[in-house]
Amino acid sequence: MEHRLISAIEAALGWSGAEELGKGFVRGSMDDPALVSRIMTPNRLLDVAMRRSLNRPQFRCFQKGEEVHPAIYYTDSVSPRGQSISMVNMRSLGRLLGEGATVIMDQANVFDPTMEVACRALQWWSRERVQVNAYLTTNDASGFPLHWDDHDVVIVQLAGEKEWEVRATSRAVPMYRDADPNSTPSDAIIWSGLMRTGDVMHIPRGHWHQATRTGSGSGKSLHVTFGITKRTGASWLAWLADWCREHEIFRHDLDRSQGTGTDALTEAAAQLVSERPPADFFDAYEQATTLPRHVPFLDILGPLDAVVCTTHFPPQIHEHGETVDIVASGKKLTLAAKALPALRLLLSGRPVELEQAAAVAGAEATEVAEVLVKEELCAVLTPELSSGYTDLVTSASS
């Protein structure tokens, strides 16, 4: 799936693909001002908060370096029948932001279609799981203190300015579950300065960093952080541990007698490692992901006229002479080979108008689309979902 944001990130950072993720700190600037406001604006972020029932930790507010108690900016919206729903009190939140505060929306991709599409595009690009958090800071509010993340991040400054400091790691590639608490920051500053609208920065896992508007006076900052969690050798070994249960030797109790049976166990472990290399783990990881949420297709609500592939990772297409297999999210579909042109179009990750698809890929495009929607590899392109692609991803049948 080609996405304008990915192209802009690659150009800003001097990358030619996802292989550069995690290799080193780098920053640059996008040369497409219209793209920045298209991704997210401060008012759109607040509009998302206003219209949804959000709770901590998905939506949090910080002021003067400390988290504001939710009771200060949340309220219960009570219906005439006494049903209570927790909602953000926008008047109270507005007061906090007016004084100077930072609001954070975790997993903005769950609530906003543009963020959803951007994360899916980054997942198809990186072949790793991605989520995006949004940070809105006003006036001279401070941000998080010096810390490190257990995943790589790509940061895009969407509005205003914010002062950053990035330091080297104090432990190579630290992990969330690790043998060391890694609590002593490095003294080596890699970069410090202002992130301005349109700037992009990649901070690899483990690098200490902090951002603030302290001392900046009146103004604002909005940035989004795309968290990309890459798999590690430890991830592979954990996966192997699950596979070992297939073999009887690993299911037996360990004998406490010194040396008894350890040679056979060691040999079996070595065999398992050779049989299931990291490449198999990569494929299995993608297939193990569950199907994403989407609006179900019900013909009673109207005809199927447009669809888009919404799998977390690109579906695999395998040709077998007169048939073709589609493998994605643990599912395998087998269709006649004549469906291949339609499949390539419908599974491209781009929106597809079925009337146009029939003209491009043949009359069976609509029938194939119905199968893919039924199997939940494609979703109905609702106006809301379509808005996430507008001006960012071109139609597949264009």
The CA distance from 252 to 219, in Å, is: 64
The torsion angles phi and psi of 320, rounded to 5 degrees, stand at -135, 65
> Quick one: tokens of 357?
């698809």
Can you tell me the mean pLDDT for 17-24? 96
pLDDT computed for residue 369 by the predictor: 97
Can you tell me the mean pLDDT for 23-42? 95
Closest Cα partner for 101 from 68, 56, 52?
68
Class of the domain covering 4-229: mainly beta
pLDDT computed for residue 106 by the predictor: 97
Residues forming CATH 2.60.120.650 domain(s) in the chain? 4-229
pLDDT tens, 205-253?
999 999 999 999 999 999 999 999 999 999 999 999 999 999 999 998 8
pLDDT tens, 146-203?
999 999 999 999 999 999 999 999 999 999 989 999 999 999 999 999 999 999 999 9
Residues forming CATH 3.90.930.40 domain(s) in the chain? 299-389
Q: Is 62 helix (H, G, I), strand (E, B) or coil?
A: strand
Domain 299-389, architecture per CATH: Alpha-Beta Complex (3.90)
Task: Assess whether pLDDT exceeds 70 at residue 258.
Answer: no
pLDDT tens, 65-82?
899 999 999 998 888 888
pLDDT computed for residue 55 by the predictor: 84
Q: Looking at this protein, which amino acid is placed at residue 301?
A: L
pLDDT computed for residue 69 by the predictor: 96
Task: Assess whether pLDDT exceeds 70 at residue 281.
Answer: yes
**Between vectors from CA 118 to CA 153 and to CA 370, what angle results, nearest 5°?**
140
**What percent of the chain has pLDDT above 70?**
99
Q: In whole numbers, what is the pLDDT of the chain averaged over residues? A: 94
